[in-house]
Chains A and B, each alone.
Chain A
């Protein structure tokens, strides 16, 4: 059987493709782009929340936030490991990120202006991430699917700590409730953008679905998120900032308004409020760490030579 036929048969049987299997070049390229930029999103995603670690209101909240930000680093590591199985060096992926040749999720280009943002990010941003990520646990590429299973288990902690934080705030003072509402107003639209442009603007969706990389369309995932979020907002007593948001009994789903797609395109291609800051910070961390990476390697090589000489 030829390579393509074997690949097609594996996909059709809903089996997994593994690293050393033959795969079409376009399948490999699509996966590298998706996994690498997913990894970049996790790594850049440490910055908005890291902003609040030193200002968390209690030791308990600080420990939680630290653990969460460490998880984001861990998720980035799992994903870079998965990307490397496709034959790409993770060092090169970092170079592409800091050169702006690969992107990351637009959501991390918005600033975290109040402590309520830590809660709202956990609730809405990680809630949206869970909608996107759960289907990836069944992705046709084995290493990616396995990484996603680990990530999804940990992501549940992220969402719940955020929601619990918001519950504590809405049970507090009027000022705290206002903070939660104001933060929800700012994060709602960028959260909807996390699912990408509508299906009509995504002609390659069918190919990704045929390959088993993508299991649901962008619009399906967004609808799922909206339906899931409405009762959660009600329980918090916050209003989602969309006057058109209402239950549609005929569809059995909520109707909602589209976010501003012009803003989305501007933010992802560099025009968001924090793009320059986020990339500059990542570049600085990479450059400042260069001597550590080199010194550790030089030390390891010296030790290896000594062991060899003594043998």
Chain B
């Protein structure tokens, strides 16, 4: 018999003996990533993704899915396949140039404690 975990959210679900899936993409609506500005003065922040047939519907769906409780004053949607991202495999070399430049931080500089406002 299958094993069950309590953490299926609304109740135990089997963690063995069920399919995962092939991962083959279906010919369905394209995937959009959603970014929401919580209030004026804040950056847009990534909140999740959704599928929609076009940009306009993506915006409407994003409103319904991600801002049911005044979580936002502005939404960006962008097709996931239009995003270019750095590769996690190259994480260390890619960010290496900033790793050895400690002099870019204010704490690098030793200032006598009795000098004010520095």
Contacts and interface: CB of A to CB of B under 8 A. Distances in A.
A77 B5 contact: no
A202 interface: yes
B99 interface: no
Contacts of A129: 9-11
Interface residues of A, number: 84
B87 A20 contact: yes
B7 A34 contact: yes
**For the complex, would chain B's binding face be called helix, strand, loop or mixed by DSSP majority?**
loop
Contacts of A104: 8, 10, 13
A32 B68 contact: no
A38 B13 contact: yes
A102 interface: yes
A194 B54 contact: no
Interface in A84-98: 84-85, 87-93, 96
A101 B2 CA distance: 13
A90 B24 contact: no
B100 interface: no
B29 A293 contact: yes
Interface string A132-162: 1101100000010011001100100000000
Interface residues on B, range: 35 or more
A146 B46 CA distance: 11
B27 to A, nearest CB: 8
Contacts of A107: 10-11
A247 B54 CA distance: 58
B28 A89 contact: yes
Contacts of B12: 105-106, 193-197, 218, 264, 268
Contact of B9 (A70, A79, A87, A201): A79
Nearest to A131: B6
Given A89-B24, A91-B28, A218-B4, A45 B65 contact: no
Nearest to B33: A81
Nearest to B49: A81
A104 B14 CA distance: 9
Interface string A179-211: 000000000000001111100011111001000
Given A77-B50, A208-B5, A297-B53, A92 B22 contact: yes
B21 A32 contact: yes
A20 B85 contact: yes
B18 interface: yes
A251 interface: no
Contacts of B23: 87-89, 92
Given A28-B20, A82-B48, A133-B7, 17 more contacts: A20-B88, A22-B89, A38-B10, A92-B24, A105-B11, A106-B12, A128-B11, A129-B10, A129-B11, A132-B6, A136-B7, A196-B5, A204-B3, A296-B57, A297-B28, A300-B54, A303-B54
